[in-house]
Amino acid sequence: MIKTILSGAIVLFSLSSSVFADDHVMMVEWDGTPGYLESTIMADTTATGEQAHDIYMLEANKVYLQLSELNLSSSCAIVGADYADGEHPATIQPITGSEGTSQFTGWPNANIKTYGMNQTYHFENLLFNGVFADESGAMFGVLCTYGEGNTIMVNKVTSVHNSTITYFNFGLAERWHLTNNTAVQYTSYPGGMYFGGFFWGGGAWGGTLKELLIQNNTIEGAHGEGMVLWDNTILNGYNDARIDHNTFVNIINWPKFYRGGNNSHWTNNLMVNMVAGPQTHNSHGQGPSLNPAGGLGYMGTMSQSECSDSLLLALGRCWDNNNREIHYNNNVWHVTAEMHDLQNNFEPWCWDVTDTNDVVTTFCDTMLGGLGSTYSYEQARWMDDSTAAQEVNGVTEENNVEAPNLGFNLDAVYTTTQITRTIDWLDNKVHDTHTANVGWNHQADGNNIVVEWPLPMDFSYSTSSVAYTHAENGMPAGDLNHFPDKLAEWELLSTDNNDSQVSANTFSLNQNYPNPFNPTTEISFSLDNASNVNLTVFNMLGQVVKVLENASLNAGIHSYNWDGSDQLGQSVSTGVYLYTLTDGANSITKKMALMK
């Protein structure tokens, strides 16, 4: 199926009909029929259930109305064709069924759900409008992943009007690359203020990850964290997650969930109006915001309890609360005047709550920072005491700065519209006027159903700002797509590959996962050069059990599954086995255990 060549963080090929022979590409021709998209792709399978084509190409300047989720179980790419000036990307939008109700099933609903084992899914050059065509509601998100060992690549995808979480990792031991995407104008839902974000995963509610690269994306208006990275984020034994050169704007909470996010590096990001909730004193436990007493800074990271889960301990998957490896470097932050006004000039307020016994209790709250402050340090600061206390546990920050004169070019109406809805919640912990799932976001043309293209949202900023040269290599902080010349320059920098977890720059063999295992396990390795390699499983006597690979392979990351069978296909017994990778000049051997 699809073969990928990765160098640093840059995908070195473009998915188009010129890459593959004609029989690998299927043009999903638009005919205006609701449900045609998902029914066509899901029906295009071989006798063994695999997708019959590698790439499904969608027409530009068309809106594909989707009746139900698109379920995928084998490798493929869904790509929008190139579009001309004055046109828009291939667009996918939900529509209700004949009875006027949603046909998307399960929780959470999403446009696409992926399954299977060791598959690769690629999505590129698409526009997702989450609002149902009749404005009856909005999709939870674009993509939910399941299965095990799959690779997910999303590039140049724009999503507008998703309800809560755009990309949700439920699968096990997955690899994710989210690059050059835009996710804006989240709708949330009545009563929903703190549940949402661009990406959720890495344990707990989500699945598990072997690799995570989130780079050159713009996320605006999320009603929750910028992203939620649980527990370890990355499974033990793999390279840390990298969240790099992203622009976060008008995020109700923090860049990440403040209890998790271990093994993650946050570099070169721009953060504008974070914790836009905002933060209140909340001393009685009934307040309308989520912050702990005293508030948290933008890089908020609170203490993490010790892992005591016996299964996670046995699998070697527990998080290490004493060695968290959360690092913030070369990030820039800014608070706009509109957000300062909300945070500094909010009168104390009270509201009544009636319980099930008709007992009325009056609650009151005040904004952190104090009424009339010229600058609310508690609301808008980089570091707080709780996070500073985690330094001994591997939480660090270096060279992160505020840009007070950012010269941010996003129209202030996007911020003030969000603030209006926030105040509707703050005054009594209820949405009194924002009672619909859609329609409260600012729309430059007043139309929720049709996405104005190009998006009328400018996320660039002044080239005289400190942010413009503060990222590594003197680059602008944030999503470089907003500075095309700088993006081109950055893509040519050889130093961009130095610490990337995406490319293989060494000859290395990873520990198999899971271990111990039953019935299957994955073995992955990295090659720094094209090589003739051999990957073989031996028993403890040194006898060959199974040759998993013996071929010439390109440089990069390669993965194989072993199902516990020998060369004849017979199941082997419980025990400890060795697996060896060699390229003739180098050899690495590791142990694994099969338990039945």
What are the residue ranges spanned by the domains of the chain? 6-497, 508-594
How high is the pLDDT of residue 192? 85
At 60, list the tokens.
Answer: 């530009």
Contact partners, residue 2, CB within 8 Å, separation at least 6: 54, 55, 75, 76, 77, 120, 122
H or E element that contains 304: none
Give me 137's structure tokens: 């509601």
Block means of pLDDT (10 residues each) for the chain, 596 residues, are 28 35 79 97 95 95 98 95 96 95 95 94 96 95 96 96 96 95 94 92 90 96 95 89 97 94 97 94 82 91 92 86 96 94 86 92 87 68 94 97 96 96 91 87 91 97 98 96 94 51 63 85 88 90 90 84 91 90 87 84
Can you tell me the distance from the alpha carbon of 312 to that of 327, in angstroms, rounded to the nearest whole number? 24
3-state secondary structure of 334: strand
pLDDT of residue 16: 36
Q: Classify domain 508-594 by CATH number.
A: 2.60.40.4070
Amino acid at 573: S
Question: Which residues are paired to 212 by β-bridges?
Answer: 176
Q: How far apart are CA 333 and CA 478, in angstroms?
A: 10
- What is the pLDDT at residue 375? 55
Which run of H or of E encompasses 46?
none
At 114, which helix (H) or strand (E)?
strand 110-114
Q: Supply the Cα-derived Rg of the chain in whole angstroms.
A: 25
Residue-level pLDDT at 496: 39
Report residue 197 CA to chain centroid gap: 8
Which residue from 209, 216, 68 is spatially nearest to 132, judged by alpha carbons? Answer: 68
**What is the model's pLDDT at position 373?**
55
Give the per-residue pLDDT at 23: 55
User: What distance in Å separates the CA atoms of residue 579 and residue 591, rounded to the nearest whole number?
Assistant: 6
Report the run of H or E that residue 401 belongs to, with start and end. strand 401-402
In degrees rounded to 5, what are phi and psi of residue 587?
Answer: -145, 135
In 3-state terms, what secondary structure has residue 514? coil
Closest by CA position to 334, among listed 236, 256, 265, 407:
407
- Residues sharing a CB contact under 8 Å with residue 280, sequence separation 6 or more, in sequence order: 287, 288, 289, 291, 365, 366, 367, 368, 426
CA angle 254, 331, 386 (to 5 degrees): 45
For residues 378 and 364, give the distance between their C-alpha atoms in angstroms, rounded to a whole number. Answer: 19
State the Cα–Cα distance between residues 265 and 214, nearest whole angstrom.
10
Closest to 323 measured CA to CA, from 392, 267, 387 = 392
Nearest CA to 75 out of 186, 8, 1 is that of 1
How far is it, in rounded angstroms, from Cα 459 to Cα 478?
9
Q: What are 547-553's contacts with CB under 8 Å, separation 24+?
A: 548/523, 548/579, 553/527
What is the per-residue pLDDT for 581? 93
Put the strands of the sheet holding 556-562 in their side by side order. Answer: 508-509, 521-527, 556-562
